[in-house]
Amino acid sequence: MPAKQQRRKLDYVALFLLVFCLLGLLVTPHDPMAQDFRDQALDGPSFTHLLGVDGLGRDFASRLWQGAGNTVLLAGTGMAITMLLASGLVSLEQVGPVWCGRFIRMVIGLWVALPVIFIGLLLLVFLKPSPSALVMAIGFGNLAFCFRQLRVLWMTVRSALYVRSSEVLGSRGWQLFKWAIWPNLKPDLLALCRLLFAMSALELSGLAFLGLIGDPDFPELGSILKQNQAYLYQAPMLVIIPGAFLSGLLLSVHLSRFHR
Amino acid sequence: MRVVILCVLLFPLLVLLSGCGQESGDAGKSPQAFVFARGADAQKLDPADVDDGESVNTMAQIFEGLMAFKTGSLEVEPRLAESVAISEDGLQYTFKLRPGIVFHDGTPVNAETARFTFDRQMDPDHPAHFPEASFQYWENLFADIERVETVDEMTLRFHLSSPNVGLLATFAAFPSWLVSPGGFEKHGDKMAFNPVGTGPYRFVDWRPNEAVILERNPNYWREPAAGFERLVLRSIPLNTSRLSELVAGNIHGLDGIQPSELKDLERDPRFEIHKAAGLNVGYLAFCDLHERMQDPELRRAISMAIDRQNLVNLALNGYGKVAAYPAPEGILGIPDDNGPIKHDPEAAWKLVQANPQWLTEPIELATFGQPRMYFPDPQRIASLIRSDLESVGLKVEIVNREFKSHLHITRRGESELALLGWVGDTADPDNFLTTFFHSKSATVGSALNVSFYRNPEMDALLEKGLTISDAEKRKQVYREVLDLWARDLPLIPLVQGDQITVMDKRVQGYVLAPSGNHFFGPVYWSNAGSDN
Amino acid sequence: MDLEQQQTEASTRSLTLSFVLKELRRFALIFFIASFGIFLALESMPEDPISLRVKNPDPERIAEIRDSLGLNDPWYQRYVRGVGDFVQLDWGESLISGRTVRSEVGRFLPATLELAIPGILFGAALGIAVVLIAHATGWRWLLQPVRGLSALGLTVPIFWIGLLLILFFSVRLGWLPVGGRFDFAHVAPEGSGFLIIDSIVQGNLEALWISIRHLVLPVMTLSLYPAAVVAGTLEARLNQSSIQRLVTALEARGFSPLRIWGRHVLRLVSGPVVTVIGTQAGALLGGAVLTETVYSWPGMGRFIVDGVLHRDLYIIQHGLLLIVVLALMVVTFSDLLARRLDYQLNTREDSDAG
């Protein structure tokens, strides 16, 4: 029982953190873009600025909060794109003609070999660098991984004894999916989502760290870290906190998966 | 599980608590090698075919010219030449070469071997005039040279088609540094990767993206000879990593530092910061190809809204100054005052209020990622400008690209506002003003005049300025050019960035050159420097 | 009996042969898709790579260079020529540095391999060791760090941990170099391009020591991810009931834990481990780019990223294609290896190698 309780607790922590981060998109104590405190640039924490002021006179806590929100939102969007595309491809592969399935598997075989960063770079050869371009990069980048995982999950569940049995008992189509397949697919699917979310968030901030996000002021944890790198020796907190925050966030999401 | 969370939280804390200003490295021992780091690798080591600072700074240790800049100034003195004579009409330059000097490969320096450098740039049929090389500097700087003549074994004479007062100084600039013909015979079209010159250090090895390795030239002809056995020029792209190497004591000097990183180094007794005004201007161009930017009132509003002193304070951290005019202070014809642009956000606000048609959609401001001498962090400049413009009511969208793509966009005039800069090749006003304002450099696709400012009156003035040799009269012409600029305001000069080099205190003998190049020949190691 | 054996052997051989042929066909098809994809991306590039080369672009000169490089030919000619050049290893010259792309790759690829191979091996060894030890000894507390490790590898940004490691080990403690492959105040060994191999071959112990010191931090950083993935996969496998039953059976026969876990179980689980490393080759390469950036490592990742950012045509075209081919080879090879190691994969229908 305590293990289960702990899992619940971790789930709540992760959920709370995610919602908390997303809240940063709506409200922050100060405007994360406004350089209202230029005269206090690089000042340490105070009552009005809980985490101090960054090098361009912006409230760091507000930037961090909204940055975390953006990271969660963009990584989540990327994850959703990946999931949608991958499940579409898996159904096409399963339902469509044989040559179609073979073709899909072959392209996926190619896709696996292309790192997300290179896909991002290739996209940026002809797209304007922007958060949406990065979302596309991670969305497409993780497609192969997600496709393979989804396919294995699907095959395992589809060929499982209980599914076969209910098929024999006359369940078909939507009924079969709803009653026999979905309940068994759901937990694994959720686990895959958590993993994909962490991958997307890391890739997103990695690309942002390489400076490919477009607007340098765009609050996102990776780009905040990049922008503040210039102050590594003067104000190391400005670099350490965004990374620690991202790690903590992803860790809480990740850990909620263990006690399933 | 708690262990893990603790680990994650504790490690950064540990790093933080441990502080960063820790002494390390072995004090007291003189190193055999001098290691210097910069943000990018050299591209080619052929003086005739480069335009990046890293290549020039590498070649500055290997090559020398007939003339050279005096240490720490823009005045020239004979170097490989013993003396130089200019004929009365200014059409003949006669160089008497210094006897007894040999290139690193043993080829003696005489009139025949010296003219190789000039022949190959001038003559398109010369075997060393490689088709893929650009030789652009010859076309820009030496266009007046008609032919080269070997008078006797040690005398070289240049014949000009028209007098050119600035030519003597260009014999000290890197495109005219002497290259050994023996190097060409041996390496052919790969000579750019096997440089052979006469300088204090000679080439050993080049590991791309890692380091260029040089060693002492034992036969160097003058004092002081090289101060180290080896000279290593490393390339470390990430600013933070470069600084960390310095703080950890693994390298002895670096350039291309972010000014914000200097605050701590200033207080650190182990390092010495060399800084001087740079020959550059960073500016904001209004692209005339966009209808909105053709409105002079909008240009005026923007110029009044931008707090340029604040750019210097927060983006350059005081290492630089406000550029009052579109060419650096101290250049002929550039006044020594604060310029015509005033910071007046209230007036700008009123202008914006009176012109709501400016607000239909956000103004696009193009910026780029890589640091330049004029903008050590172009993105930070952009965000400060955006903040200024938004506080007077305008709407701005920053578009950040890599430098090469940014150049492409600005050369085609695709962005309404663009941040860019110019590093002077020479200290002549024409080098800046014709680049910025002449209509001949406003061709879409290859423009250097990225405002696409076209004004026949301006063209005439700029062309007139080139033909006058009398300094006072010339100054008058450029005053008129500046008046035209202030009236039409095709661009706002923003800042003039300092050139900054950080060295270990024990490295002695380093002097900043106004041309922006590093000369490590006279640099040596002294443990006495570490005591203070 | 004898005849039967011969027959099965022959059928296995023909199976392998047809399998290899199938793989080759697949490989060729994927190669053409990939090269065409890269070609399309380059075609839709809005900038003209030639005009970006020089400070003062001169339209005539640009047209001349374009002509000499054959960039004005129709697209199918350029595509076919590009593929032909790639296959013949004639990869053209970098527009910016003028060096041949081939010689550049010859320098940067060994650097990346010297970082990536120890990174993967160390990571995998770490993951396997910790999990097996935890299970073999029954020290459940060791499983906590195992989970911690795999959690960390999947949740900590590489560039951030890299910066922290540098701050701590290099700047604060001064134990290890900050970045780069070698300290060029000393003479680097020449030869294959692998500094470690070269210094061993030449018996240069000092150079060996220097190269190893430079490798420690980047390898640690890079190995975090493979360690996590391997540990995670192993954990999941070891908890399967079939393995649990096997262990119980072997224990009942009185085998020592070392023999059970180090030999029998390890052999059983090595297949999935190899597969997972193979399929993660792409992700590892992505990690290598960030690691190379943080540690100023002169490798392929940085070379290609710079090439793309500088719009250096032939580096993008051939370098990127080479990366795809190499990663594909790793995936295919690891599939083959896993097939040998794991009998289940051979019989399972759902493996997607078909």
Q: What is the mean pLDDT of residues A86-109?
A: 87
- pLDDT value of residue B14: 61
pLDDT over threshold 70, residue C317: yes
The rounded Cα A138 to chain-centroid distance in angstroms is 9
Which H helix or E strand runs over B149? strand B145-152
- Candidates A89, A108, A117, partner chain C, best to mutate (most C CBs within 10 A): A117
Query: Taking Cα atoms as reference points, which of C192, C170, C204 lies closest to residue C296?
Result: C170
Neighbours of chain B (3+ CB pairs under 8 A): A, C
Query: Which residues, including other chains, have CB under 8 Å from residue A112's CB and lie 6 or more apart?
Result: A144, A145, A148, C279, C281, C282, C327, C331
Q: Which of A55, A211, A247 sits opposite B8 (nearest CB)?
A: A247
Residue of C29 and B246 predicted with greater confidence: B246
pLDDT over threshold 80, residue A228: yes
In angstroms, how far apart are the furthest CA atoms of chain B? Answer: 88
pLDDT over threshold 60, residue C3: no
Residue in chain C lying closest to A123 (CA): C41
How would residue C343 be classed by pLDDT, with cut points 50, 70 and 90? low
- pLDDT value of residue B27: 44
DSSP reduced 3-state for C120: helix
Residue of B213 and C240 predicted with greater confidence: B213
- pLDDT value of residue A52: 86
Least confident of A75-84, A226-235, B10-19, C33-42: B10-19
* Angle (nearest 5°) at CA B475 between B491 and B329: 55
What does DSSP say about strands B92-97 and B81-86: parallel, antiparallel, or unpaired? antiparallel
How would residue A12 be classed by pLDDT, with cut points 50, 70 and 90? confident
- Candidates C35, C140, C160, C351, partner chain A, best to mutate (most A CBs within 10 A): C160
DSSP reduced 3-state for B263: helix
User: How far apart (Å, rounded) are the C-alpha atoms in residues A39 and C187?
Assistant: 50
Q: Which of A113, A124, A240 sits opposite C281 (nearest CB)?
A: A113
**Arithmetic mean of pLDDT over chain A:** 84
Q: Which of B4, B205, B402 sits opposite C152 (nearest CB)?
A: B4
Contact criterion met (CB < 8 Å) for B210 and C93: no
User: How far apart (Å, rounded) are the C-alpha atoms in residues B66 and B94?
Assistant: 11
Q: Is B447 left (phi over 0), alpha (psi -120 to 50) or beta?
A: beta
Q: Does C147 touch chain B (CB under 8 A)?
A: yes
pLDDT in tens, B482-526: 999 999 999 999 999 998 999 999 999 999 888 788 999 899 998
The two tokens of residue B109 are 């320096």
DSSP reduced 3-state for C333: helix
DSSP for chain A, please give it: -HHHHHHHHHHHHHHHHHHHHHHTTT--SS-SS--TTGGGTT----SSSTT-B-TTS-BHHHHHHHHHHHHHHHHHHHHHHHHHHHHHHHHHHHHS-HHHHHHHHHHHHHHHTS-HHHHHHHHHHHS---HHHHHHHHHHHTHHHHHHHHHHHHHHHHTSHHHHHHHHTT--HHHHIIIIIHHHHHHHHHHHHHHHHHHHHHHHHHHHHTT-SSSTT---HHHHHHHHGGGTTT-THHHHHHHHHHHHHHHHHHHTTTT-
Residue in chain C lying closest to A157 (CA): C350
> Distance, in angstroms, between B9 CA and closest chain C CA?
12
Most confident of A127-131, A197-201, B513-517: A197-201
Q: Is A125 left (phi over 0), alpha (psi -120 to 50) or beta?
A: alpha
User: How far apart (Å, rounded) are the C-alpha atoms in residues C165 and C158?
Assistant: 10
**With contact defined as beta carbons under 8 Å apart, do C343 and A94 qualify?**
no
Q: Does A31 touch chain B (CB under 8 A)?
A: no
- pLDDT value of residue A1: 44
Rounded alpha-carbon distances, angstroms, from residue B205 to B193, B195, B232, C197, C201: 9, 10, 10, 20, 21
Q: Which of B1, B5, B263 sits opposite A234 (nearest CB)?
A: B263
From chain B, pick out residues whose CB is under 8 angstroms from the CB of A211.
Answer: 369, 400, 402
Q: Which of A113, A205, A253 sits opposite C324 (nearest CB)?
A: A113
Q: Does A236 touch chain C (CB under 8 A)?
A: yes
The rounded Cα C258 to chain-centroid distance in angstroms is 31
The two tokens of residue A226 are 């990049």
Contact criterion met (CB < 8 Å) for C44 and A246: no
- pLDDT value of residue B453: 93
- pLDDT value of residue C96: 79
How would residue C353 be classed by pLDDT, with cut points 50, 70 and 90? very low
Residue in chain C lying closest to A212 (CA): C309
User: How far apart (Å, rounded) are the C-alpha atoms in residues B141 and B175?
Assistant: 9
From chain B, pick out residues whose CB is under 8 angstroms from the CB of A214.
Answer: 398-400
Q: Does C102 touch chain B (CB under 8 A)?
A: no
- Candidates B139, B250, B423, partner chain C, best to mutate (most C CBs within 10 A): B250
Residue in the block written with tokens 């990127």: C320
Least confident of A143-147, B500-504, C9-13, C75-79: C9-13
Residue of B366 and C43 predicted with greater confidence: B366
Least confident of A115-124, A216-225, C177-186: A115-124
Rounded alpha-carbon distances, angstroms, from residue B316 to A198, B237, B285: 37, 19, 20
The two tokens of residue B464 are 């007139």
From chain C, pick out residues whose CB is under 8 angstroms from the CB of A205.
Answer: 157
The two tokens of residue B351 are 């202008």
Contact criterion met (CB < 8 Å) for B9 and A55: no
C-alpha atoms less than 13 angstroms from C-alpha of C293 in its C-beta half-sphere: 22
Q: What is the mean pLDDT of residues A71-93?
A: 93
- pLDDT value of residue C182: 87
Q: What is the ipTM of this complex?
A: 0.84
pLDDT in tens, B351-363: 999 999 999 899 9
User: How far apart (Å, rounded) are the C-alpha atoms in residues B239 and C153?
Assistant: 26
From chain C, pick out residues whose CB is under 8 angstroms from the CB of B234.
Answer: 180, 184, 296
Where chain B has pLDDT below 50, the residues are 19-28, 529-532
* Angle (nearest 5°) at CA C219 between C215 and C223: 170
DSSP reduced 3-state for C263: helix
User: How far apart (Å, rounded) are the C-alpha atoms in residues A37 and A63?
Assistant: 13
User: How far apart (Å, rounded) are the C-alpha atoms in residues A220 and A216?
Assistant: 10
- pLDDT value of residue C219: 93
**With contact defined as beta carbons under 8 Å apart, do C297 and C291 qualify?**
yes
- Rounded to 10 deg, the angle between the C300-309 and C320-341 helix axes is 140
How many CB contacts within 8 angstroms connect chain A with chain C? 146
- Give the torsion sign (CA, B309, B310, B311, B315): positive
From chain B, pick out residues whose CB is under 8 angstroms from the CB of A220.
Answer: none
From chain C, pick out residues whose CB is under 8 angstroms from the CB of B236.
Answer: 179-180, 296
Contact criterion met (CB < 8 Å) for C168 and B211: no
Q: Does A215 touch chain B (CB under 8 A)?
A: yes
- Give the torsion sign (CA, A125, A127, A129, A132): negative
User: How far apart (Å, rounded) are the C-alpha atoms in residues A253 and C24?
Assistant: 41
User: How far apart (Å, rounded) are the C-alpha atoms in residues C135 and C137?
Assistant: 6
User: How far apart (Å, rounded) are the C-alpha atoms in residues C301 and C308?
Assistant: 11
Query: Which residues, including other chains, have CB under 8 Å from residue A103's CB and lie 6 or more apart?
Result: none
Q: Does A243 touch chain B (CB under 8 A)?
A: yes
- pLDDT value of residue B15: 59
**Arithmetic mean of pLDDT over chain C:** 80
Q: Does A131 touch chain B (CB under 8 A)?
A: no
pLDDT over threshold 70, residue A2: no
Q: What is the mean pLDDT of residues A176-205?
A: 85
